[in-house]
Every structure is written in structure tokens, then in C-alpha cells.
């Protein structure tokens, strides 16, 4: 999907078509055409309806429950649009809705840590539709492997992905993280790194990947950070329907100097990143996590606006929040009520992504401290996931 900020004056917006027969085919889908909510297009003998703004996302491969297209079934014949398509508008098309790149909420789950719950238990209790799975690292050089040691298939991570999908949800892999032997430093060229990402995409037929870029070995190492950005550009060129996410830390007022540079490099290199996600926690014990999260998010919005020339709505639609439920590493407290307010803020602004660390911790243990299998606060099991599902 091309950046919403890159839609030029020559892009066509097709009107919603009406059929002259019950199974007539709408105008054929075109990769260069902009479609908005309720537009209809046909591909391979099926009609599809767009759920939101989209461009260059094939209906045939993007019509799952949480994808951009709805498969309306088999069609035949032709369809006359109610008005002729506008092929050369004199002004830019209407600003895409803020939900243009919106994804299902996807809290992190880690099969190798913290008494991992059965995915079906969580899905059935909360209605969550996606999970972010930690972590793809490097093994024997530039080879992707879960936790850097267990390969990609055949282990606990792969079986958890199968269980998630069997429960009716989907998975976004998280590549990198704070620690471990990561792909960014181990893959010596952007092409090699893109190849490693591609192996993960192909192994699980993914619709999105999350690169969690942190610490001095990636986030603060500009050679490696640029390599990651270049690799994601290659991935997007080869897989235009796969959403790319960059996740990184933040201050209470938005990206720090490393984050600002990362965003500027993404623009300069034409990486076409779909979502920039911040982790608004570990603020040295900040007492108001709602205010800190909103401050960080508004700061990111301003950086995206100044870098890409986005409107507010366009900037928000390329942003995400990835919080930490309960007690953070630095003893900050995010309650279920606070997380609900954060979700409502994210929804009202049209953010694209909503996640937290982690489902493994989404169980109550008041006074339990910062541990792997509960939140350290009083709460009902899966309360944060249930709130997130409402995003």
C-alpha cells in the first residue's frame, strides 16, 4: 500500500457502482486506483467492497476478516457506474480517512515466557482478532529464528501461530526487541536483511511485520538503523500488500533524536513504512500514564506532519501505540481504566495500531511486582486484551 501522503492529483477515485444484474461484475480492480469505503471493484470473477481507503492492495489476497476488502462472491457480466470515474481531478482526492491503514489491535504474546496462555482461551474470552508474536532474532548469522535458536517452523512459536489462526485470529511477528542477537546487526546488507524478513513472511503467509528497533545495537546505531529502513523499503517493493511497522521508544513529548532521525530516514529513503508505533512507558516513573501517552503520541504526530507533509488525519493513520499493562519496568502504573481511556483516545484519533506488552502478563496479581505472568496490579484475567479488542 502506498503512503497516503503520496497520492497525487492524477489518482482516480472510483464511485460506488451499481449492478445492472444481481451478479454483474463491477469495474475491474486497478492497482493504481484509489478506492474509499463502499467502493466496489471486481477481480478474478468476484466482486469486492472496500472497507476503507486503499490503493494497490489486491482484493483477491486482502479479503480476510480484518483485511481491507469484503468478498461479495462470484460475479458475471458488466456494471455501469452511477457516475463516470474521475480520471484527472483538478485537485487532490479527498484526504483518506484516518482509518486508512487501521489494523486489528494486536497485543504481544510470547510463547517462550511467562506461562503463555492458550490462544483460544484468550480469543474466546475477549474477542481479540490478532496478536503480535515475540521475537524473531538471528541464528548462525543472517538467519531468522524465533528467540534466535528455534528456527521458524516446527517449534512452540509455529504451533502457537497455528492455534491463533484456528481460533479465528491472526499474527504479526515482532522482529528484534530490546535484547538478544538481532538480524539488523547480523545481516550485512539491506538486501540480506530484506531476505531474512522475506523468509518470515513466506513461512507464515503474513500480512504485516513489526520491526521492534531498540537499544544501542539497532535504534542508536545509525548504520544498522539505515539498513533496517532500506530492508523494509525492499520488502514493501516486493510485497506491496504486506504492512510494515516500525516500533521504537519515546519520550513523554514524542520521539527522541534517534526516533526523529529514523522517521526522517524512512522518508528520505522512500521506505513507505505503513505504521510508526511508539512504546510510551519507562518514563522514569511517570505518575500519569494517560497524559504521558497522549503527549508522546501528539509529539509523534507533529514529527510525521513536518516530515511527510501529512494532515493531522493522515499522520494519525500512520501511527500506533504499544503500551505496557499494569506495572512497567520503572514502576509506572497503567490500570485497566487508564488503558480504556488510552484506547478511546487512539480510536478517536484514527490511529492504525494498538498493542501492549503483554498478554502473558494480562492476569491480576496485586503487589506481585514486575513479573512475566501477571500485571502486578489487581485486575480480571485478560482485562487489557478485552479493552484492546474494542479498538
Separation of first and last alpha carbons in the chain: 22
Helix (H) or strand (E) holding 192: helix 190-204
Is residue 374 within 8 A of residue 361, CB to CB? The reply is yes
Is residue 369 left, alpha or beta, with left meaning phi > 0 and alpha meaning psi from -120 to 50?
Answer: left
Q: Which residues contact 154 (CB under 8 A, 6 or more apart)?
A: none
Return all residues near 223 (Cβ < 8 A) that are at least 6 apart.
none
Give per-residue burial for 174-195: e unless 16+ CB within 10 Å, then b. Answer: bbbbeebbbbbbbbeebeebbb
User: Exposure of 348 by Cβ count < 10 A (0-12 exposed, 13-18 middle, 19+ buried)?
Assistant: exposed
CA dihedral 200, 109, 175, 2 (to 10 degrees): 80
Which residue, 58, 62, 136, 67, is CA-closest to 102?
67
Helix axes 257-268, 289-308, angle to 10 degrees: 30
Contact between residue 114 and residue 373 where contact means Cβ atoms under 8 Å apart = yes
Cβ–Cβ < 8 Å for 274, 352: yes
- Concerning whether 214 is annotated as a catalytic residue, the answer is yes
Strand partners, 146: 136
Q: Which three cell numbers stand for residue 170?
A: 491472526
The residue from 57, 65, 214, 220 that is catalytic is 214
CA–CA gap between residue 289 and residue 338 (Å, rounded):
7
Q: Which residues are catalytic?
A: 214
Amino acid at each position: 500500500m502506498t503512503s497516503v501522503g503520496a497520492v497525487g492529483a492524477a489518482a482516480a477515485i472510483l464511485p460506488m457502482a451499481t449492478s445492472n444484474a444481481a451478479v454483474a461484475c463491477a469495474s475491474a480492480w486497478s492497482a493504481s486506483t484509489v478506492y474509499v469505503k463502499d467502493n466496489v471493484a471486481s477481480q478474478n470473477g468476484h466482486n469486492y467492497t472496500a472497507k476503507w481507503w486503499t490503493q494497490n492492495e489486491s482484493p483477491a489476497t486482502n479479503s480476510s476478516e480484518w483485511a481491507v476488502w469484503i468478498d461479495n462472491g462470484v460475479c458475471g457480466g458488466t456494471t455501469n457506474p452511477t457516475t463516470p470515474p474521475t480520471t484527472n481531478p483538478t485537485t487532490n482526492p479527498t484526504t483518506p480517512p484516518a482509518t486508512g491503514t487501521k489494523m486489528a489491535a494486536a497485543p504481544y504474546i510470547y510463547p517462550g515466557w511467562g506461562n503463555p496462555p492458550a490462544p483460544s482461551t484468550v480469543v474466546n474470552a475477549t474477542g481479540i482478532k490478532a496478536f503480535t508474536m515475540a521475537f524473531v532474532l538471528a541464528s548462525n548469522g543472517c538467519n531468522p529464528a524465533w528467540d534466535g535458536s528455534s528456527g521458524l517452523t516446527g517449534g512452540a512459536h509455529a504451533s502457537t501461530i497455528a492455534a491463533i489462526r484456528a481460533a479465528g485470529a491472526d499474527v504479526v511477528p515482532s522482529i528484534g526487541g530490546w535484547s538478544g542477537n538481532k538480524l539488523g546487526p547480523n545481516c550485512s546488507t539491506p538486501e540480506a536483511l530484506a531476505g531474512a524478513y522475506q523468509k518470515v513472511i513466506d513461512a507464515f503467509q503474513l500480512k504485516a511485520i513489526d520491526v521492534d528497533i531498540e537499544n544501542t545495537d539497532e535504534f542508536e546505531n545509525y548504520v544498522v538503523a539505515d539498513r533496517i529502513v532500506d530492508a523494509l523499503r525492499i520488502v514493501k517493493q516486493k510485497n506491496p500488500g504486506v504492512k510494515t511497522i516500525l516500533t521504537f521508544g519515546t519520550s513523554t513529548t514524542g520521539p527522541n533524536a534517534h526516533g526523529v532521525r529514523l522517521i526522517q530516514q524512512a522518508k528520505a529513503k522512500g521506505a513507505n513504512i505503513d505504521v510508526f508505533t511508539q512504546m510510551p512507558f519507562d518514563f522514569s516513573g511517570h505518575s500519569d500514564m494517560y497524559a504521558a501517552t497522549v503527549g508522546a503520541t501528539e509529539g509523534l504526530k507533529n514529527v510525521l506532519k513536518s516530515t511527510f507533509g501529512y494532515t493531522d488525519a493522515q499522520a494519525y493513520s500512520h501511527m500506533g501505540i504499544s503500551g505496557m499493562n499494569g506495572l512497567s519496568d520503572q514502576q509506572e502504573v497503567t490500570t485497566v481504566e487508564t488503558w480504556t481511556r488510552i484506547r478511546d483516545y487512539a480510536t478517536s484519533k484514527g490511529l492504525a495500531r494498538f498493542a501492549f506488552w503483554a498478554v502473558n502478563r494480562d492476569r491480576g496479581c496485586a503487589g506481585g511486582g514486575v513479573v512475566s505472568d501477571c500485571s502486578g496490579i489487581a485486575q480480571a484475567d485478560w482485562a487489557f486484551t478485552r479493552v484492546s479488542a474494542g479498538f
